[in-house]
Every structure is written in C-alpha cells, then in structure tokens.
A and B are shown apart, each in its own frame.
Chain A
Amino acid sequence: MRHEPAIAPARMAVSDEQTVAALRAGDERAFRDLFARNYPMMKRVARTYVASEAVAEEIVQETWMAIVTGIDRFEGRSALGTWIFSILTNQARTHSARERRALPFSSVAPSDAEAPAVDPDRFQTGDDAWPGHWATPPRPWQKPERRLLSLEARDRLKAALAELPERQRVIVGLRDVDGHSAEEVCDLLGLSQENQRVLLHRGRSRLRAVLEEYLDAADV
C-alpha cells in the first residue's frame, strides 16, 4: 500500500485517521510528530489563561495525558486539532478559575489598534512637498551569511516578541513563529479575520521597528 503525502485540505481527514490509529497503537513516532506540531500552540494558548509559565506547562502536560489516555473516545466528528484544543481549553479554564480571567479574544482593545506601524515623524507633513510620503525612509538590511539575522539580532527579536501586548504576542507567535494559518488561528481562538489581522499587523510592525532600530545602529 502506498501512502501519499497529505497536501490538500481534503486529505486532512485521512491524515487525522492515520494519526489517531497510530496513537491508539501507542506509536511513539506518530505521537512525537503530533506533539511537536501542537505543543507550541498549546503552550501559547494555555499561557493566556494563567499568569505563570509553570502553570501553563502543567495545563499542557495534563492535556497530553488526557489525549493519550482518552484517544479511544475520539470519534472523528471534529478535526483532531479541534478535539485537542477543546481538551486544552477545558483544562485551562479549570486552572484559570483559580487564577484569573481568560482574555476576551473576540474583541480588540483600543490599545491593540491605536499605535501606528511607523513613527509619524518619519513621514512628510502638510508643509512638505509630498505629505504622507517618507521623510526618513527605511534602509535596506544587510544580511549576515546564511541566516537572516545574527544571533544577537535574533535575541533582540525574541525579547521584543516577549514584550508585545499579550494578544499581539499570541497571534504573532501562532502565525509567524509556529506557522499556523490565519484560518486555523481564527477558528481556534474564535477571532474574526479582521481582528486577527489587526493584532498581527500591530505585532509585526512593532517587531520590524525593533529590528530596524537595532540593525541601523549596528550598521553605523
């Protein structure tokens, strides 16, 4: 029998079935694949429900335990990812009831939408020749060999990501760091596409600005 790669969305169900069968048989490789694919998202989401990394880690561990011991109860009526996510949020709610309220992901607070992507001072104003066009334009970034960024610049990026407002951090993390699609993120978090884009835009714009500041300073 030949296994074709699961590329088209229509094949997702087949791929879920294979994963579930492998988990039921205790297949460690299949489990490790599933773990690696989902762990970062789970940790990120769990962290929005509780105040500490340690508790978020505990929630994720409990969720994986529930997946492994409860996989026989998965009936395939939803996608495997949705099932995993519902276990995760149930565990997280139990913990957050003791800690603090979950973030209302379906609404975008004004603070998430207000800040401009680029400092307004960098654009020409009404008195200049071309209002709204660059006064201080961005300069092309020099790339170090092989990698996009030096190790130090990566550390800077990591720190800036950690400092983003929470919902921006979660969305940028899920989309750009973990590589989930807009559809997946909106489905999982019950977020509209538009709100997802606002959060993504603010977060990415801020991170670009941090890198620009660092790289321009390093260039001089």
Chain B
Amino acid sequence: MHTSGPPHNGHSASELDLPVDEVTCQQFVELVTEYFEGALEPRTLSRVEEHLVMCDWCVTYVEQMQATIASLRELGEARSPEPPDAVLAALRARRAGGA
C-alpha cells in the first residue's frame, strides 16, 4: 500500500509547513479541505495527488469526507421552509394595492 518510505530530510512529519518529500496520511487528513476547495499550492497539490495514488486508506478517507458533505446537503434538501403568514399577507397587500 505504501510503496515509499517516510520522510528523511530532517523535517518533522507532524508539521504542516510542507513540503517534505512526501505527504503522510496524518498530514493529508489536515489538507483534505484545502484539496477539495482547490486551495493547495501547486507543489503541495502534486504531493497530495501522488499520495492518493499510493494510499487506498486515504482514498477511503476522501470518500468518507465526500459522503459526510453529501449527507449534510441531504439534511438541507429535506427542509422546505414556509414563509410566515404575516409576511405573505403584506405581499398580498402589495398586489392588492397595485404597488
């Protein structure tokens, strides 16, 4: 699954001041929103994409984040807010008044 080793260039893998040679899973989960939002620097983006090619677990993580977002959207779509009667009455009064 992980075909290349951990970073060995003296940088701490837990720091998010990328780039190190490779994005770790722990770093990836902190970059996923910037990845979705298209906000990653080109260099970091290519490392993230390389990581996803190698790491099925992080692909699963991406799918879970996407499912979470889609489920939140479903919560929104399930609503159908009704305008208050008083406001509808004011709107009808506009029409009646020919305003």
In angstroms, Cα B80 to Cα A37, docked, is: 10
Q: Is A108 an interface residue (CB 8 A)?
A: no
How far does the alpha carbon of A24 sit from the alpha carbon of B93 in the complex, in Å? 11
Q: Is the CB of B25 within 8 A of A133?
A: yes
Could you give, for residues 50-61 of chain B, a 1 whenever the CB lies within 8 Å of some chain A CB and a 0 otherwise?
000001011011
Stretch from A76-84, A88-96, A112-120 that touches the partner: A112-120
Q: Are B60 and A138 in contact (CB under 8 A)?
A: yes
Contact A177:B37 (CB < 8 A) given known A120-B26, A133-B6: no
A182 and B37 contact, CB distance less than 8 A: yes
A26 with B34: CB separation less than 8 A: no
CA distance A138 to B28 in the complex (A): 13
The answer to whether A117 touches B32, judged by C-beta atoms less than 8 angstroms apart, is yes
Contact A177:B72 (CB < 8 A) given known A31-B83, A120-B26, A204-B65:
yes
Chain B interface category by residue count? 35 or more
Main secondary structure of the interface of A (DSSP, over half): helix
Question: Of residues 125 to 150 in A, which have CB atoms within 8 Å of B's CB atoms?
Answer: 130-134, 137-141, 143, 147-149
For A31, list chain B residues within 8 Å (CB): 83, 88, 91
Query: B57, A138: Cβ atoms under 8 Å?
Result: yes
**B74–A154 touching, CB < 8 Å:** yes
Do A35 and B24 have beta carbons less than 8 Å apart? no
- Could you tell me the distance in whole angstroms from the C-beta of A104 to the nearest C-beta in chain B? 22
Q: State which residues 81-95 of B face A: CB under 8 Å.
A: 81, 83-84, 86-88, 90-95
How many Å lie between the Cα of A123 and that of B73 in the bound state?
Answer: 30
A26 touches B88 (CB 8 A): no
Residues of B within 8 A of A23 (CB): 91, 94
- Which of B's residues lie within 8 Å of A, judged by CB? 2, 5-7, 13-14, 24-27, 29-30, 32-34, 37, 39, 55, 57-58, 60-61, 63-65, 67-76, 79-81, 83-84, 86-88, 90-96, 99
